[in-house]
Structure 1
């Protein structure tokens, strides 16, 4: 399951709770599009804002509505104790894998992060994907740490935060990482603007935000790379440059994708946990025009 397109849906919610019906529809939409895997409770799924009970329920819904598509569930939390509890819940729900970012309030050391993964992997019966997301965790993995963690039992993929923009530099970066990790551990690119470059450079997986909302658009890029048509993948990604620019203008993809889901009628407004808000005003109108122009699916 750690290759191709891994689509990360929103967890639509308001202050009263999770919109279970809307979440189920989003997951079914991904299954119908035949994505390669579904990533529930990633950053796009607002996992850090939910209680343990809410996260367990989302995991159950994701597995139930994904059909034959494997589901990976985020288990990141501030304390190792809580990560282990969330891992247990995800496994009981039938998750095919778990996703773990080193969340913290106090800045973590390299040894503390390694100890987290070492502890968690000892208790898992399903594979684990390492989630490197310095924009939210404020921890930066070294290449040496990738190599150490990749040797742990049950580690099967590393979700890296983008690649250099230059194709040759990106290829060298991926090759350097590949030399540090075992062959059974895949490299997956995140940061949608970098996806085509990362896949063309040798990453096996795209852990995708837009894939969670517009799976056919993301699949076209992924399948082009898998077919060896790197130029077509680059062209399809460059066509989405205005969307990538919006992500950059608004502190990442979450607020933009939430607004897009609302505009498409896939979720109700509001769909994010306060104090987070989807795009409003002029930015929302700009996004609406862009969605019409790009004809995303």
Structure 2
């Protein structure tokens, strides 16, 4: 199964930043983005290079390329063509042909490309095998439902979103951890007898996939509770051979990536932050029992440097 490779805005900015000094020496006259996917990185590139930004429009059904912007580059302009991805489709190759027919000699920058791309760009990141680039401006394009359209959706993109949710704290109350430690079987029996929360997130949860930190050995009793209360979504549980209880957030993040869920509802605030830091393009929503709040998380560079220095010192002390 194809995995989602998160390419959030921070990742995009970092990739572009690595090329800016080189591009400044190449003497480009303009930046040309392919709308829509190339517009966000195109703005970043043109701003970093202090160059005018133009854009192309592409009709996938007819394979027609035209100018998206009213102003166009001067004849013979040296340009950097910007697109989000070079893939098996014809958008990039047709756009390059269009520019060359009009006397331009573009250099090509795509944020991502893979070994199946029709065009190998001059600049960009090669996505690892078995992965698909996942951009925030095309969040829903990663889902199977969107893929089935052949990149020609007949509904708004948000209709192709793929949601999943946590279990404990969302559908039913959490049992305090100390109860499990004191008497595991009694705590499990108490949990099995719980009724669903009176207040649930404002979505149809009956068929929503569930990604829980409960261990795989609890599948039978967990599924019985879900069946009893009318929840029929796919159940993904924690594989204890891969993830400890302390690694529950990592387990959930990997499930989101592997199943390509675009939205995830989490009841634990700390886990929500950890998941958001690992799955940067998916929308992570923390449900506090009454309302959902979007969560975004990046490791602070200053603290990351301090943590790395501490690790080096610890290693030196044990040598």
> After TM superposition, is the score higher than 0.5?
no
Q: TM-score, normalised by structure 1?
A: 0.28
Q: Highest CA radius of gyration, 1 or 2?
A: 2
Q: TM-score, normalised by structure 2?
A: 0.27
Answer 1 or 2: which has greater strand percent. 2
Answer 1 or 2: which has greater helix percent. 1
**Relative contact order higher in (CA < 8 Å, ≥ 6 apart):** 1
